[in-house]
Structure 1
Amino acid sequence: MLCLPLLLLFPHSSWAHAFVVESSPTENQVLDKSPSQVTITFNEDLQSAFMSIKVTDETGKRVDTGKAQLNPKHPSTMEIQLIPGMKNGIYTITWRALSADGHPVNGVIPFQVGSGSNAYTDQATPSESSGTSRIDLIAVRWLLYIGLSLLFGAICFRLFLLPSINRDKNRSEQKMLNQQPSDTLPRWTKLLWSGYGITSAAILISLPLQASWDAGVSIREGFSLPILGEALQFTGAGKIWFIQMILVLLLSVTLIYAIDPSISNRQRRVWGYSSVLLTLSLMLSKAFVGHPAAATHPA
């Protein structure tokens, strides 16, 4: 109910993934002389990780310098330098980029240098695609949602529901529950740590799986240090993952004290509220990975 007015007052359109709005050379363009570079501009800013541009001639030989980069002044433009003196013929630009929302996109742009009888029939046709999410990424996402639900539900039950139930009991029963929460609520404790374990495992495994998808490599290669390092340093998902891991470690401390029977009920409640805040922070961090990251104001 609180969020609904915000949706009505501040509507915002968003695209699913980045797509090409301009390129030089353009698709199937015929040039009088060889270009010095290739530039591809997208509708939104790109992430600098796992991007590539490969320009090949009719024999498959590369004619680029091998290193694609983002334009420093325009993060939505990807470019690469070409070797000078390219011969007349048909060339193919094969590109791969990482959208602001973390979704990899790729495509092919053919062009021709010099006029002649050559045709594009035997060459790669212009294309642009972005594969659907892998089943492992979807499964990890649902594991995270389930873990957060168990964790948040267990904490809120202990903080907000149980005290009201206790007030309906006699004083002796209430005193027993307050002094021995771990003995009288064994199922609550199991649910609490189950939720924490599932949440932690889902977050831990999400980075290598996401990195392997972004880089276009196998899941096994996604666990390699170079791939993980590039994901942590140059992708939004990697930076959010680092924050999530810090929140998970802090949450483990607050949960331990929140169920510690050796401290007072008031102290346990303070640690419990801290656990609520950290769990909400984990939920919020998940919202910064995906389509909202491509918005002008991700918050």
Structure 2
Amino acid sequence: MNGSILRKLALRCPALALAAIAFALLVIWPVGTGSAHSSLTDAFPAPDSRLETAPQEIVLTFNERLENKGFAVQIYDRKGMPAAKGPAALDASRNTMRLALPPLEDGSYTITYRLLSADGHPIRASYVFTIGAAADSQLGYASASRLHEEHDIGKNMPYWITRGLYYLGLLTATGWFSLRVYAPDIARVNLKRYSIVGKALLAFHLVALVLLAWNDFGKLSEGLALTDDWSILLGTSIGVSYAIALPTAVIGLLILGKWRAIDAAWIILLFAAKGLNGHAMGFAIPAITYVLDIVHLAAASLWSGVLLAFAIIGTKRLAEPGAAGAAPPALLLSRAALSAIALLAVSGLAAAALYTNGFHRLLDSQWGRLMLAKAAAVLLVIIVGSALRRSLRQKRLKPRSPWLLFDFALYAIIVAITAVLTYLNPLAATGPLFWHENVKSVHIAAVITPNKAGEVNQFNVSVGGGAAKEGEGGPRNVTLKLQSIDHPDIAAIDVPLKLVQTNGSPLSLYDYNYSAEGNYLSLPGRWKLEVRVLSGKLNEYVTVKTFYSDNKK
């Protein structure tokens, strides 16, 4: 009776655990947009700001290292003419761009910048600032485009699928050929099948790599001259990564499967190339995270090879004793998988700690939430692996064991999470706040600059859309409230907004703009912003945004 119950639980546990992971992903998966690159942490002049005197330079600071190629900062006056001629310069720290300015007249100016973060992500954005108290402001127009610059995960599905296929191809191809490196007897079980599967995996990896490179290079070269393309290809980490990976993938089709040393060298070279394209290069000391990234890839590849061996060679063949009474190959693979998962967990934990400055504000970023989901999946892999090793020792492992199928399902989930995770910014957003939401056809935008606690900040709210024009004279009332989340005992702070006149762009989403200035972000930490719009017909539209305000100088 007890044995029957245990068998039923063994069959149901994998399905229940998978359902739990799926539910967790639905809960923590962010709806809407997410930062997929370096974030602007400080800007002078600040977006949508009004200065009494003309600035002498533009200073833009980001939270990650930038590539020293393909960056530019430009400034235009209200007539669309360039207001500065010199090129932008990159600081030695490679996270700050500067552009020296000539004397500027009063008026509104548009700053536009372009750069490549060191982890390979292109960034293009613009914003507006005004000089002089009497000058007409262009509040909310050019800066509004920045609100839509972030990557919408839901609408970028083809790209995430391409990234998922790439990681699947990379890990399965390298994992399959790593079997010959550390367990050649397993590859000799059926050399013909091993060779056919190997060629198919190499071809799959090459196609996925080409598709991803085509997508990435198209984004990198957008807005650049043809002569700059070669500079990006040979002068940036992501360019060098693809310049190495593509020919290596092609050569692999010709030489792999003949010499174990060549197979090992090919795998290492491919990982070395991949390490140049990702978060590892955006860290302050890239050598450390680069090594961790390669170790992480090697561990994932090793685990992939083990799963492929069980799927293609077969559990029955692998469970048979080896030559001269040696232990079954399945036990060797089981130990390899255990080592791989241990390396995967340790290297991933170390890299995550470095990327997030000791897990600071981990839950405030999409990257952090997905990392927790991945960690939960890895923990389940450890539990499943324990059950599989027990079945192997007891010689009860069947080809369609629920635990083996569960292991494959967890592998697919981890690869899918990785495809998105590696493109998101590990650091929670800081710096100027840009927020936009379409509430029942009413566009509401809120901009806080420079978003520094304990200092004077500018608060701008813009409202637009058909429903916002209900009645005469626009909305009856627009309010902005700030609530400290870390200090709930402090009552919400009302920010006194005033209607401001603009130059009226016909292309703008917004018809009415409101502004305030003051030290309303009095404390560092998490805040909740709430904007309420009361229309002429007494219909209310509300948007809420949680954000973080820092006071670091």
Question: In the alignment, is residue 255 of structure 1 matched against residue 256 of structure 2?
Answer: yes
1:155 is aligned to 2:161: no
Structure 2 counterpart SS, 1:119 = coil
CA contact (8 A) 2:73 2:88 kept: yes
Q: Deviations over 1:115-165 (max 9, x none)?
A: 216234464347464325755543443333333344335435556667369
Taking the TM superposition and a 5 Å limit, the aligned residue runs for 1:24-103 are 24-65=44-85, 67-71=87-91, 73-82=92-101, 84-103=102-121
- SS of aligned partner of 2:75: strand
Paired residues for 1:114-129 under 5 Å = 114-116=132-134, 118-121=136-139, 123-125=141-143, 127=146, 129=149
Q: 1:47-69: CA deviations, max 9, x gaps?
A: 13332323122232221216333
* Structure 1 counterpart SS, 2:82: coil
**1:186–1:78 CA distance, 2 compared to 1 (3 A):** same
* The one of 202, 210, 235 aligned to 1:196: 202
Q: What letter matches 1:274 in structure 2? A: I
Equivalent position SS for 2:115: strand
Higher relative contact order (CA 8 A, sep 6+): 1
- SS where residue 75 of structure 1 aligns? coil
125, 129, 144: which one aligns with 1:111:
129
Q: Is the 8 A contact 1:53 1:95 kept in 2?
A: yes
Distance in 1, matches of 2:157 and 2:186, equals: 42
Hey, what does 1:283 align to over in structure 2? 271
Tell me whether 1:209 sits opposite 2:215 in the alignment. yes
8 A Cα contact 2:49 2:129, kept in partner: yes
Q: Deviations over 1:191-230 (max 9, x none)?
A: 111122222333344434212112335xxx9xx9535413
The AA in structure 2 aligned to 1:187 is R
CA contact 2:68–2:90 (8 Å) conserved in 1: yes
Contact 2:66–2:118 (Cα < 8 Å) also in 1:
yes
TM-score normalised over the length of structure 1: 0.68
Rounded Cα–Cα distance in structure 2 between residues aligned with 1:289 and 1:122: 35
Give the direction of change, closer, same or farther, for the CA distance of 1:89–1:197 in structure 2 (3 Å limit): same
Counterpart selection for 1:130 from 150, 168, 177: 150
CA distance in 2, matches of 1:23, 1:85: 19
Q: How many residues align?
A: 249
Deviation at 1:102, TM superposition (A): 1.5
Q: Distance in 2 between matches of 1:69 and 1:208?
A: 29
Structure 1 residues 228 and 139: CA distance shift in structure 2, 3 A: farther
Distance 2:106 2:195 in 1: 72
Residue 163 of structure 2 is matched in structure 1 by: 141
1:118 and 1:273 map into 2 onto residues whose CA distance is: 70
- 8 Å Cα contact 1:48-1:69 kept in structure 2: no
Q: Secondary structure at the match of 2:71?
A: strand
Which structure 1 residue ranges, 5 or more long, are not aligned? Answer: 1-14, 167-176, 178-183, 259-270
Is the Cα contact below 8 Å between 1:254 and 1:272 reproduced in 2? Answer: no
Deviation at 1:18, TM superposition (A): 1.6
Distance 2:191 2:263 in 1: 18
Paired residue secondary structure (2:79): coil
What residue identity is the alignment partner of 1:163?
D
Distance 2:177 2:150 in 1: 40
Aligned equivalents of 2:228 and 2:249: distance in 1?
23
- Partners in 2 of 1:225 and 1:68 — Cα distance? 20
CA distance in structure 2 between the partners assigned to 1:165 and 1:48 by the alignment: 45
Q: 1:109 Cα shift?
A: 3.3
In structure 2, distance between residues paired with 1:207 and 1:51: 20
User: Conserved in 2, the CA contact under 8 Å of 1:39 and 1:80?
Assistant: yes
Aligned amino acid, residue 72 of structure 2: S
Contact kept in structure 2, 1:147 and 1:194, CA below 8 Å = no
Q: Which residue of 1 aligns with 2:544?
A: none
Contact residue 16 and residue 291 of structure 1 kept, 8 A: no
- Residue 65 of structure 2 aligns with an amino acid whose one-letter code is D
The answer for the alignment partner of 2:193 in structure 1 is 187
Could you tell which deviates more after superposition, 236-245 or 142-151? 142-151
Deviation at 1:275, TM superposition (A): 0.6
Quick one: distance in 2 between partners of 1:284 and 1:56?
Answer: 42
Alpha-carbon distance in structure 2 between the residues aligned to 1:35 and 1:51: 21
Cα distance in 2 for residues equivalent to 1:159 and 1:31: 65
Number of the residue aligned with 2:38: 18
C-alpha deviations, 1:62-85, integer Å up to 9, x for none? 2121633323x3421112233x34
User: In 2 relative to 1, CA 108–131 (structure 1 residues): closer, same or farther, beyond 3 Å?
Assistant: same
Counterpart amino acid of residue 98 in structure 2: E
Pair 1:28–1:151, CA change in 2 (3 A): closer
Q: Deviations over 1:224-261 (max 9, x none)?
A: 953541321232111122232453355345426x1xxx
Counterpart CA distance in 2 for 1:75 and 1:159 is 40
Q: Deviations over 1:18-52 (max 9, x none)?
A: 22222222234433443343221112221133323
Deviates more, 1:154-163 or 1:60-69: 154-163
Contact 1:150 1:191 in 2 (8 A): no
- Cα deviation for residue 113 of structure 1 reads 1.8
Q: Secondary structure at the match of 1:46?
A: coil
